[in-house]
Structure 1
């Protein structure tokens, strides 16, 4: 389940930069902010438009939480698609259908028990210093073929869902820590990684704040070059760092993950 950093610049700073460099882009962005981000009435109108469009074009999709009438989910995808109703409906309809077909709501500790016992992926008990839930992956424990790929996929999605369930009020993104100590070429699994990155892009957009690749051995570099094109924009979230950096910069003394103490 390998992955990622560089924190994305804060939205306000980004717009300031654009406005300094080019008046035309700044004007376009400012209009977008006023009409879609700062105007509550317009938000509700956009949500209503998405709901209506989903109802007409994708009436077989389920209702309820994570369904075609889930306003919180709709708003998230509107933000992701820069408030384009058409684009939000396209991406959201695929996400809702995928959640239903994959059986995300049916995943449980029991359903992923066998794979989870490897401890190759787990959610840390504490938040990091920035208040983000932490998903930790021990890449050396992933052995392709040890389990059916669907079992690994279920573990991946369950852990993402679990991390998101720990989001404090006001927080929207999680931190992924990929421990590469002990990683060997036989741990590489391009097919599975493709699933992970597709899931993050299509079904959990903008939920990943940062990815730490910890103590990557020399043999991991060629693997990274292979998967980098697959991750697209997520490559900008990746930071290669040491276990010491993880311990000292991302956690308080009493919240450091056991493997990093």
Structure 2
């Protein structure tokens, strides 16, 4: 179609097996949900990779995602006015890119509290954040890097339902978007909750999570992020920018 990139340029790093599975899956999902025609091959490939190239499983996951998106994000985007409570807590920031060109997000777990209005608002905030990160990815980049800073975290922040909801949205609706997650300043109490959450994390995601020791914090982050792009609070040069302003 006119205006569309050549499939090969978009998928130049795909294996032959992936290319044939992408064609199979596209035919399958377009027959069941015509809105599938609007998504690019990269999205189809992300869902396939999330299900180890199993076309049937990836298609079921993808069709479920399309249904979710229509009901949960009917306008195609989340407006900041819908998530004012979460934005007011200033708990997430986005600025700079790592050495691979992946946008960097920083989340402060001690600034998150269970919403008085139930879990829907936080779910919308998570979608808002993920969409922001995806919109900041340069051409050829599909992933982001995140730093979860758990300093000062306590039981008041222990929103287990919120954590599981956000994990579910990330894994089921934005597969293959997380490139790496550094968890820093994790207190002992947080590890108790982590043990509850851990079994719900799929194996692909588990491989991307790194707990960083305090004494190795800057050196570990510098392996992935240049000093000019590293947030000031971790010894770099990049000021924090609230996600709604990024």
TM range (shorter): 0.7 to 0.9
The answer to whether 1:45 aligns with 2:45 is no
Please provide the CA RMSD for this pair: 2.5
| Aligned counterpart for 1:70 among listed residues 27, 39, 56 | 39
Q: Counterparts of 1:52 and 1:232 in 2: how far apart (Å)?
A: 27
Q: TM (normalized to structure 2)?
A: 0.77
Q: 1:80 to 1:247 in 2, by over 3 A?
A: closer
Tell me what 2:189 maps to.
219
Please identify the structure whose Cα radius of gyration is greater.
1
Task: State the SS of the aligned residue for 1:110.
Answer: helix
Task: State the SS of the aligned residue for 1:126.
Answer: strand
Is the Cα contact below 8 Å between 2:144 and 2:177 reproduced in 1? yes
Can you give the 5+ residue segments of structure 1 that lack an aligned partner in the other structure?
Answer: 1-31
Q: 1:114 to 1:145 in 2, by over 3 A?
A: closer
Q: Counterparts of 1:260 and 1:96 in 2: how far apart (Å)?
A: 38
Instruction: Return the structure number with greater relative CO, CA threshold 8 A, min gap 6.
Output: 1
Q: Counterparts of 1:215 and 1:195 in 2: how far apart (Å)?
A: 23
Task: State the SS of the aligned residue for 2:81.
Answer: coil
Task: State the SS of the aligned residue for 2:202.
Answer: helix
Q: Offset at 1:89?
A: 2.0
Q: Which whole-Å deviations, capped at 9, do the CAs of 1:129-183 have from their partners, x for residues lacking one?
A: 2321112110011112355321111111110111111112221111111001111
Is the Cα contact below 8 Å between 2:77 and 2:128 reproduced in 1? no
Can you give the 5+ residue segments of structure 2 that lack an aligned partner in the other structure?
Answer: 1-13, 236-246
Q: Counterparts of 1:250 and 1:147 in 2: how far apart (Å)?
A: 38
Tell me what 2:140 maps to.
170
Tell me what 2:209 maps to.
238
Q: TM (normalized to structure 1)?
A: 0.73
Tell me what 1:8 maps to.
none
Is the Cα contact below 8 Å between 1:47 and 1:74 reproduced in 2? yes
**Count of aligned residue pairs for this structure pair:** 216
Tell me what 2:83 maps to.
112
Q: Counterparts of 1:45 and 1:141 in 2: how far apart (Å)?
A: 44
Tell me what 1:142 maps to.
112
Tell me what 2:32 maps to.
54
Tell me what 1:99 maps to.
69
Q: 1:82 to 1:213 in 2, by over 3 A?
A: closer
